[in-house]
A and B are shown apart, each in its own frame.
Chain A
Amino acid sequence: MSLWNRIRRFRGWHEATIALLLVSLLAVAGRLMPSFLRVDSQLLLSRHIWEVAILALGMTPIIITGGIDLSAGSTMGLCAVMFGLCLTASGSLTIGCLACVATGFACGALNGVLISRFRVHPLIVTLATFAGYRGIAEGISQGDSYSKFGDSFSGLARGSWIGIPRPGFLFAMLAIAGTVLLGRTPTGRFIYAIGHNQQAARYSGIAVERLKFWLYTASGLLASLATLVYVSRFDTAKADAGKGFELDVITAVVVGGTSIFGGRGSLLGTILGLLLIHETRLFVSRYWRTDELRSIVVGILLIGSVLVYRVCVRDRRA
């Protein structure tokens, strides 16, 4: 095999491209706006992305199996309301957090059951629960919000240990666990196999349905953890928590090189995609100081990354 072929077959092309884009973005940003690269401000503003990052860890394997979870943001809304409700009713933070996690588990498990037991397409199931969970959250809370959870709870998302924001530790733990699971265990291989060809995976004895159930449940659980970070950051639990996050998450996963048809992708790519989107948004809104530009730039990134993927695939098949 020639060197050229080896380069072409190198599996990390997408990740490498994104990493390069990220580096050049930072270089340009640093030139136009020297204060942009300051580590302390970058760490402080990383706050805006932790919740989406945690959700992305659950979304990536789901999209690798060829599925999707549109209900992630709405699950956060329901979790936030249950947190606020149980906290005010019991007066105990622990009970509030437990209620939040239990709600996330239940929401994810319901998605999982509908998808794996009844074999309904994930897009339809989660589109339904996307509306349903948010609706229940709004119904229970009647538009009210719960707030003033105290400074120590606010510190969970706003504070830092050894200079690194606290949610970063949670994210790092989860990300390492996810990377090991996807890349180093049989379960991880099965997830890719389902994405490549679900029937073939089923006939080769992989417990496709059980695996899918747990993936959607995990996504719900991660949404509840993201909710805790979110509620702590804004010191407010309201039914609109995480509104629109599902689209941010899916964008990050797709920009990160995961194929929306399944079978291909990695957590590293997702994290890089997320960083690229986050830094681009930050730069655009800090440099030009208009909020509207942010969405345009993210749209361009998404199309660009899908084009890269298309060109890659066409080349490999030719």
Chain B
Amino acid sequence: MFGKSLSFCLLSTLLIVGCQRGETERDLAATGKKSGSDKKITICLLPKIKGISYFSSCFNGARQAAEELGNVELIYDGPTDGDPKKQAEMIEQWTVDGVDAICVAPNAPDVVANAMKEARAAGVKVLTWDADGTQESRSFFVNQATAQSIGEGLVQAMVNDLGSEVVGDVVIISSDATAANQNAWIDVMKPALQKTNLTLATIKYPGENASHALADAQDVIEKYPNLKGMFGISAVTFPGAAEAVEQDGKTGQVLVTGLSTPNDMKKFVHSGTVKSVFLWNTLDLGYLTVHVAEALVSGELKEGATSFTAGRLGEKKIVADNILLGDILIFTKDNIDQYDF
């Protein structure tokens, strides 16, 4: 019985394969014609994590730019768990597929550096956005805000929101210990905090994981009785830290400040756990990145340029090899409802 059905299956598979072989030639001719007539530029946008609102809103901006430009085929894909090794494997795969440009938001610069260097050697334009990689692995970095403005802004907001006379401990809930952005901000925040009455008690690295961030925040709330504030400096760990404060009923005693998207933070801002939320315009970040990638592929943008005009955003400054997006946004109870991303 089984032998018969199995051999039937095998035979039919062989037949199907045989038929398909016959069609191959015609198919090839058809695709050949297609690729000759329209020259689309394929741009891959690789986020740190796929599926969180921060990167989804960047993607929306990127899609706008792709539609505006018309000649761009945009591929948006990334690891759903923020694993930098999967980022590296995706870059390798895209390189083999012969895409024109890859825009990477590296979770761990060292892990993806080799894959990015190989892509460049294969003729793919590689740039970083949102977070920088190692210098030789990319041509440009689309920088949303300088570390100086973010780091000092965060500390300033914490001091203002708490009142400058308040003395006590603060902690930083970062992302991965390898995340370049967060580390650059921390480097600015440390000296800035020393000029205030606040003491940096510890830094936690829960990774891009809201439940780990929640657990770490609960740990520090318990461990430091004199805790006045927490900085949640990634779009994932900030809501996690705010959630911990609310669960422990510490609203009004521990203030949380950090960077995240307005939609994720609205409820915490309205409940008073959070007073200021920092971010740049994420739509514009995605939009600018796709414009830069397109200009690199078409040859409009060359290394060493000092300014770049990006569609509706107008002219953007280039400092060294960083293309600057511009000002950061601060959301408070008064203006957060005006934003939807």
Contact = CB atoms under 8 A, between A and B. Distances in A.
B78 A236 contact: no
Interface in A73-118: none
B97 A286 contact: yes
Given A24-B16, A289-B77, A291-B90, A143 B50 contact: no
A236 B110 contact: yes
A154 B118 CA distance: 12
B197 interface: no
Contact of A289 (B14, B21, B75, B83): B75
A45 B111 contact: no
A312 B93 contact: no
A8 interface: yes
B17 A28 contact: yes
A236 B205 contact: no
A44 B88 contact: no
A197 interface: no
B97 A236 contact: no
Interface string B95-111: 01110000000001011
Interface residues of B, number: 44
Interface in B141-194: 177-178
A8 B20 contact: no
* Chain A interface size range: 35 or more
B89 interface: yes
Interface string B38-75: 00000000000010000000000000000000000001
B3 interface: yes
A236 B108 contact: yes
A169 B32 CA distance: 37
Interface stretch (B22-30, B277-285, B299-307): B22-30
A291 B75 contact: no
B13 interface: yes
Interface string B264-294: 0000000000000000000000000000000
A48 B83 CA distance: 14
Interface string A290-318: 11100000000000000000011011000
A41 B96 CA distance: 6
A145 B177 contact: yes
A197 B127 CA distance: 59
Nearest to A30: B24
Interface string A26-49: 011011001100000100110110
A13 B5 CA distance: 14
Given A8-B3, A286-B97, A24 B13 contact: yes
B22 to A, nearest CB: 10
A236 B114 CA distance: 11
Interface of B: 1-3, 6, 10, 13-14, 16-17, 20-21, 23-24, 27-28, 31, 50, 75, 77-80, 83-86, 88-90, 92-93, 96-98, 108, 110-111, 113-114, 118, 177-178, 205, 207
Top 7 nearest A-B pairs by Cβ distance? A315-B2, A147-B110, A41-B96, A27-B17, A234-B111, A236-B111, A31-B20
9 contacts: A17-B10, A34-B28, A143-B177, A147-B111, A234-B110, A234-B114, A291-B78, A291-B86, A311-B2
